[in-house]
Chains A and B, each alone.
Chain A
């Protein structure tokens, strides 16, 4: 019996070892990014690499020793590249652009997709299935196919070099319609009938009955859309050609083009771009999980 217990414990230990080992591999790049971002300029290339930046090691000890000025000097030196990003390089502007684009596109998607999803799920009208499958079937087409015509189209619509060029195309993504329809199908039709009997208009049924009940799906779709737009790269890279219009990923790419080897600066910029998504994820983890699993169900 005891032997079996020992064996079981060893097995359990191995499992944890593998899982923790993989977690370290998984998180190492992010850790390395933050570390490099906080290192002093001459520390970045030091051999062997320093896994804990000087500022982290020494800041509080210095404070405790009463060497306040020294501590603050160390801190400002370590944050130098962040200061450069905020003053000399248009990073705050890129950040703002990313926020504007992601928030607008997300709100738009939530409104339009929930409207469409609702009627696709709960209504019977001529051409319903045809329209639905017409939209869904385009999900299979790789985005590169439409790259060139979209580029020409954006020019013709006069949207080139405006944030509109990166807001409108994601609004057309059809994944959300699919997701909302799947979810809304599970809302009992009796609720809609009851509201109708109470004399509610179509719009107020959508607004007062369907939307409140769809909150989990809306949260999921919202987060996935936000993430997709916040991180999107190829399209903004093509249509945004002015410094002040860049979103963060495009800004970072040009930053890399201009400062190929200033890794302290590059990692500081990357950190600033990564932090919002990490925070969003830590707070809303369950919606990410739900969105991924919902999305994988077949219609």
Chain B
């Protein structure tokens, strides 16, 4: 009796030593997360909550505190936290966006995750996704998803006007214009236009309008990021085209080119409005337009119209988690484990199905998350035309000035050439 008991205890001891999930550290981890898709109760944080519960169950002694932050405030909040050295342990940050500055990586605010992954594990990620989280040869986060910008087409309005949507979602600029003209009309017969073909918005840190600016082959900065190139003839012609939608062809509403993100989306997707036929959005909108009770829309996705460059250029991004500087080695290990736990194959598959993102892991892609989702399937094909926003330490400042000039052009207050040249002069000092 006694012997078996002893043996069992010994066995248990060996087992615990062998089980990899047992980590020595105990304590509290703080994670910030932003709203994701809703569950039946309307909770947009249910995914992270269930993950936390599961992780705490697997690792007794580890307690995880969730701070719920809206996407719109995430950057600002995180930066305030960083300045006050009061950062969370994990947060959903795309380091190529403006949320965390490259300066912060250089200063060591974000942990490098190089040692957390084996070569083999890294091989499961798409190189583009890893690139988005790499800087100076180090990995600074775990990509969970990739996104791409595409045009959302309200098929009901196309039908209402008898306009054929572009075949397989591909169109040239001229075809695009023709269709936009037909989609702009006076719905209630009061003599005023109330449905428009196209609209979008301009705001620092957002790039829905930018593929238009690149359609003739222009890029904001030179390849080596040393020079401003958005004043090239290709850039000017492209911006003139975008502005012509509003001023020459009058297929865009007054608000087009303003900073009202929410209003732009409502105009497209709110059943009480539906006053715009085509708007560009990042791929999260696909999930919203498919699944959300309020915004469910009969829609398809299409590429940005093809300009002089001959390619349907678009802008892509990536999502994932970063780990902030850790003092305690033991804790660092648990936090890293948690970050991995949030971005495993299964979670990336769930994100792809529910949340409108493309997996960053090949293994998740192989599970074919879009088999019943023609829109995501179509958008996925655009990934190969996706380019990213320049990776420059001063990009937030540069971006802010370019976007400010874009707003002026789309307000009709400046010519494209003037604005892009002015932007060039303003960003000069940030490129040195």
Contact = CB atoms under 8 A, between A and B. Distances in A.
| Touching chains A and B, CB distance < 8 Å | yes
A241 interface: yes
Given A155-B85, A155-B86, A258 B72 contact: yes
A241 B70 contact: no
A260 B260 contact: yes
B91 to A, nearest CB: 13
Contacts of B260: 260-261
Contact of A260 (B68, B81, B85, B263): B263
B84 interface: yes
Interface string A208-249: 000000000000000000000000000000100111000000
A161 interface: yes
Interface string B71-112: 011000100110111100000000000000000000000000
Contacts of B68: 243
A227 to B, nearest CB: 27
Interface in B44-74: 67-68, 70, 72-73
A151 B83 contact: yes
Contacts of B84: 151-152, 155, 160
Interface string A144-184: 00000001100100001100000000000000000000000
Greatest chain B CB density within 10 A among A88, A152, A258 is at A258
A257 B67 CA distance: 18
Contact of B81 (A241, A258, A259, A261): A241
B262 A161 contact: no
B73 A257 contact: yes
B73 A254 contact: yes
B86 A42 contact: no
Given A160-B84, A160-B86, A161-B86, A257 B272 contact: no
Contacts of B77: 241
The size bracket of the interface on A is 10 to 19
A155 B67 CA distance: 19
A254 B76 CA distance: 12
B262 A260 contact: yes
Contacts of A261: 260, 262-263, 266
Greatest chain B CB density within 10 A among A161, A254, A261 is at A261
Contacts of B67: 242
B80 A241 contact: yes
Contact of A257 (B42, B70, B80, B86): B70
Contacts, number: 34
A254 B72 CA distance: 9
Nearest to B42: A88
Interface string B380-400: 000000000000000000000
Interface in A250-287: 254, 257-261
Nearest to B72: A257
A152 B84 CA distance: 7
Interface in A121-164: 151-152, 155, 160-161
B93 to A, nearest CB: 16
A257 B35 CA distance: 14
Nearest to B81: A241
Nearest to A243: B68
Interface in B335-371: none
B13 interface: no
Interface string B248-292: 000000000000111100100000100000000000000000000
A45 B275 CA distance: 14
Interface string B229-264: 000000000000000000000000000000011110
Contacts of B42: 88
Contacts of B72: 257-258
B342 to A, nearest CB: 22
A260 B86 CA distance: 29
A42 B272 contact: yes
B149 to A, nearest CB: 21
Interface in B21-47: 42
A238 to B, nearest CB: 7
Greatest chain A CB density within 10 A among B67, B84, B85, B266 is at B84
A242 B68 CA distance: 9
A243 B32 CA distance: 12
Contacts of A151: 83-84
A269 to B, nearest CB: 15
A160 B85 CA distance: 11
Contact of B80 (A88, A238, A258): A238
A261 B269 CA distance: 13
Nearest to A254: B73
A6 B66 CA distance: 74
A243 B67 CA distance: 9
B302 to A, nearest CB: 26
A254 B83 contact: no
A36 to B, nearest CB: 16
A193 B320 CA distance: 74
A45 B272 CA distance: 10
B86 A258 contact: no
A88 B84 CA distance: 30
A87 B115 CA distance: 45
B109 to A, nearest CB: 15
Nearest to A44: B272
A254 B86 CA distance: 21
Nearest to A156: B84
Contacts of B81: 241
Contacts of A258: 70, 72
Contacts of A242: 67
Interface string A48-89: 000000000000000000000000000000000000000010
A46 to B, nearest CB: 11
A75 B86 CA distance: 45
Contacts of B73: 254, 257
B1 to A, nearest CB: 55
A242 B84 CA distance: 14
A258 B73 CA distance: 9
Contacts of B266: 261
A242 B72 CA distance: 14
Lowest 9 A-B CB distances belong to which pairs? A260-B262, A155-B84, A257-B72, A261-B263, A261-B262, A261-B266, A258-B70, A241-B77, A160-B84
Interface of B: 42, 67-68, 70, 72-73, 77, 80-81, 83-86, 260-263, 266, 272
Interface of A: 42, 45, 88, 151-152, 155, 160-161, 238, 241-243, 254, 257-261
11 contacts: A151-B83, A155-B84, A155-B85, A241-B80, A241-B81, A254-B73, A257-B70, A257-B72, A260-B260, A260-B262, A260-B263
